[in-house]
Chain A
Amino acid sequence: MAQVTLRKVVKMYDETPAVRGIDLDIADKEFIVLVGPSGCGKSTTLRMIAGLEEITGGEIAIGGDVVNDVPPKDRDIAMVFQNYALYPHMSVFENMSFGLRLKKVARDEIRRRVNDAARILDITELLERKPKQLSGGQRQRVAMGRAIVRDPKVFLFDEPLSNLDAKLRVQMRTEIKKVHQKVRTTTVYVTHDQIEAMTLADRVVVMNGGVIEQVGAPNDLYHTPQTKFVAGFIGSPAMNFIACRLEEAAGALRARLSDTLSLPVPASRTARYKPHVGKSSLLVGLRPEHIREEPRHPEPDLHLFEVMLDVTEPMGMETLVYFTIEGTEICGRVNPNAGAADGAKMRLAAELANMHLIDDSTGKVL
């Protein structure tokens, strides 16, 4: 029973709002990731749940109890910090048991719980060491161990992997996911890295400018973003946005990108997009993976066009190609054997079934 509920939560620093009223229901045992660019209010939200920041307005409830005025230690939460915040003068064992010792838990009980947590994290042989003698990944484990030992209602992670190098980050990501599968505790995890968010979360909360842009399962966010921000934030390389005009001809819609290039809108979308014909602030959103080389066999809803490539970036399993339409740089992903070369002409195929139409004036995906 450890669902977390946020109701119209607001945080003001003096007169500057950091969080502008967010509502969020986190289910028991759920792994929620708050993701967004720096300054979007994700960390502030987490710190309000932890009780490290006062809540300016609204309510936060943990396990059904409103905790607005409950000090952090009585909220039954545990937190893993970005820089680990291990007590440098204590051994790993002392670090992990500090909270329990303050609570005057029996010594045997402390030993048992620390050992259990150490076994889960595979740090049993590190218990007598000082944090200084540990590698980044080991410190990370100890910080998680400190959280697990307390057996809290909620785990809070504040960008826990951003101090690790790229390889270790991937490894620890998997580790965190495994630990969550083992201990099954409600988890709120903050990161600015959308890949981390996608890989870890049951549900991802995308935040921007102090508000929630969208909440959803990773694949939902990827396939059906509701705002331009989410569309651009999730996915790497980022989605291409190309200014367009919607034209109607013989009952079908076409998105005109330039004098020479217009894309046929799939028939299934015609009804949805029709009211926007003639609007001036429209963008076509198309992910790089939906712009690929011309297939050997014809497929439905593919539009073929020829461009002059500016730059190509071979990645091994694929090659990224860049070209320009009306001054906008577009990225596509093609098969490395498709013969893409810098400055060469190439026929590309746009998967219009996966296109998005965005009203740039409202930022909404239509």
Chain B
Amino acid sequence: MADIAVPRAGTAVGAGGRASLHRLMQRKSTIAFLMALPLILVISLLVAYPAFYSIYLATLNKSMERFVGLGNFSFLFGRETFWLVVKQSCIFAITAVIFKALIGFVVAHFVHNIPAKGQRKWRGMLLVPWVIPPAMSTLAWLWLFDPSYSAFNWILAIFGIDPVPWTGNAHWARFAVILVNIWVGAPFFMIMYLAALKSVPEQLYEAAAIDGATWWQRIWYVTLPMMRNIIAITALFSLIVTFANFDIVRVLTAGGPLDYTHIFATWAFRVGIESGDIPLGASVSLFMVPILAVAAWFILRDINQRGNEA
């Protein structure tokens, strides 16, 4: 009797339990979905939707009543200012990123060179430009570059050098904008490279030293190959951020003099918000997409590769 009853009870528990487990599994993924739902909403409503909406906007006329297809783009292609902005955006982003990477690498090396107990202090000091909100620090630069009271020109005057029109002349203004960008961005590279330098095993340098490598051979054959990934990723991130930069140019020159420092973001703001031509502004900002897409593709590829290695 008992022998029969026990297995029956067992199966009953089993069947009931199985159904409830099924519900539980369903519930687990439902809970997970609900937990991710706010994220999905933010991404889809506030990022994905506007991104696609701007493509639609770019095909409308100024009053947004008529579909003009690629009209805005052909209008842009016919304008000299647009080509100026393209050229300036590229010069701005590429020059700034190269110098940020170089300075970051060099400074990281120097910090890495000094005794470990001092490193924290120096690292802390050298990251300050990155911590200050760029709009605030650019104001300081604007004041340093002031046409009549420039503190730099005051120093130059001591050496008998004529005042430099930092933001007044096209070349100097471009230089100033790039300089400020390097000043803001180089510390970020420094921090990334420093973290990467610390992850290179000391034995590799010792082995290289035993093999008779000079200091630059050590950098070339050990440091750089070991840091290749971080260098590439950081440069790509920075390229995206620099290419899409707004704050620095806006505060320092507002695109002037005579549009000679406008880049995509500032010009899109000028055209789209200040001049009220939203479709044209959207068209301008869309030109940032190709470079973003290329950079994103490289970064994702790297991440997937690293994922596969792990």
Question: Which residues of A does B touch, CB under 8 Å?
Answer: 59, 61, 64-66, 68-71
Greatest chain B CB density within 10 A among A59, A66, A68 is at: A66
A-B complex: 6 closest residue pairs judged by Cβ atoms: A69-B17, A69-B21, A69-B18, A66-B14, A66-B10, A68-B14
B13 contacts the other chain (Cβ, under 8 Å)? yes
Q: In the complex the two chains form, is A68's CB within 8 Å of B18's CB?
A: yes
Q: In the complex the two chains form, is B6's CB within 8 Å of A64's CB?
A: yes
What's the least CB distance linking B241 to chain A, in Å?
35
Q: List 21 A-B contacts (CB under 8 A).
A: A59-B14, A61-B10, A64-B6, A64-B10, A65-B10, A65-B13, A66-B10, A66-B13, A66-B14, A66-B17, A68-B14, A68-B17, A68-B18, A69-B14, A69-B17, A69-B18, A69-B20, A69-B21, A70-B17, A71-B21, A71-B24
Q: Which residues of chain A have C-beta atoms less than 8 A from B24's C-beta?
A: 71
B29 contacts the other chain (Cβ, under 8 Å)? no
Q: Which residues of chain A have C-beta atoms less than 8 A from B18's C-beta?
A: 68-69
| Complex Cα spacing A66 to B11, Å | 7
Q: Which residues of chain A have C-beta atoms less than 8 A from B17's C-beta?
A: 66, 68-70
8 Å CB contacts to A: which residues of B11-42?
Answer: 11, 13-14, 17-18, 20-21, 24
Q: Which residues of chain B have C-beta atoms less than 8 A from A61's C-beta?
A: 10
| Complex Cα spacing A204 to B14, Å | 29
* Contact-residue size bin, chain B (C-beta under 8 Å from the other chain): 10 to 19
Apart from A66-B11, A68-B18, A69-B18: 9 A-B pairs, beta carbons within 8 A? A64-B10, A65-B10, A66-B10, A66-B14, A66-B17, A68-B14, A69-B14, A69-B20, A71-B21
Interface of B: prevailing SS: helix
Q: Which residues of chain B have C-beta atoms less than 8 A from A64's C-beta?
A: 6, 10
| Complex Cα spacing A124 to B157, Å | 76
Q: Which residues of chain A have C-beta atoms less than 8 A from B21's C-beta?
A: 69, 71
What's the least CB distance linking A234 to chain B, in Å?
35
| Complex Cα spacing A12 to B11, Å | 22
Q: Which residues of chain B have C-beta atoms less than 8 A from A59's C-beta?
A: 14
What's the least CB distance linking B23 to chain A, in Å?
11
What's the least CB distance linking B222 to chain A, in Å?
32
| Complex Cα spacing A68 to B21, Å | 9
Q: Which residues of chain B have C-beta atoms less than 8 A from A70's C-beta?
A: 17
What's the least CB distance linking B61 to chain A, in Å?
54
Q: Which residues of chain A have C-beta atoms less than 8 A from B14's C-beta?
A: 59, 66, 68-69
| Complex Cα spacing A69 to B21, Å | 6
Greatest chain A CB density within 10 A among B17, B20, B21 is at: B17
How would residues 198 to 226 of chain B score, 1 for a CB under 8 Å from any chain A CB and 0 otherwise? 00000000000000000000000000000
What's the least CB distance linking B15 to chain A, in Å?
9
What's the least CB distance linking B16 to chain A, in Å?
8
What's the least CB distance linking B17 to chain A, in Å?
3
What's the least CB distance linking B283 to chain A, in Å?
48
| Complex Cα spacing A66 to B14, Å | 6
| Complex Cα spacing A349 to B20, Å | 65
| Complex Cα spacing A256 to B6, Å | 57
| Complex Cα spacing A123 to B161, Å | 77
What's the least CB distance linking A1 to chain B, in Å?
12
Q: Which residues of chain A have C-beta atoms less than 8 A from B11's C-beta?
A: 66
| Complex Cα spacing A161 to B18, Å | 35
| Complex Cα spacing A65 to B12, Å | 10
| Complex Cα spacing A71 to B22, Å | 12
Whose C-beta in chain B lies nearest to the C-beta of A68? B14
What's the least CB distance linking A64 to chain B, in Å?
7
How would residues 226 to 263 of chain B score, 1 for a CB under 8 Å from any chain A CB and 0 otherwise? 00000000000000000000000000000000000000
Whose C-beta in chain B lies nearest to the C-beta of A64? B6
Greatest chain B CB density within 10 A among A59, A61, A69 is at: A69
| Complex Cα spacing A61 to B7, Å | 11
| Complex Cα spacing A65 to B24, Å | 20
| Complex Cα spacing A66 to B18, Å | 11
What's the least CB distance linking B11 to chain A, in Å?
7
What's the least CB distance linking B199 to chain A, in Å?
22
| Complex Cα spacing A109 to B21, Å | 32
Whose C-beta in chain B lies nearest to the C-beta of A74? B17
Q: Which residues of chain B have C-beta atoms less than 8 A from A69's C-beta?
A: 14, 17-18, 20-21
What's the least CB distance linking B102 to chain A, in Å?
40
Q: Which residues of chain A have C-beta atoms less than 8 A from B10's C-beta?
A: 61, 64-66
What's the least CB distance linking B20 to chain A, in Å?
7
Whose C-beta in chain A lies nearest to the C-beta of B22? A69
Q: Which residues of chain B have C-beta atoms less than 8 A from A71's C-beta?
A: 21, 24
How would residues 59 to 80 of chain B score, 1 for a CB under 8 Å from any chain A CB and 0 otherwise? 0000000000000000000000
What's the least CB distance linking A330 to chain B, in Å?
40
Q: Which residues of chain A have C-beta atoms less than 8 A from B20's C-beta?
A: 69
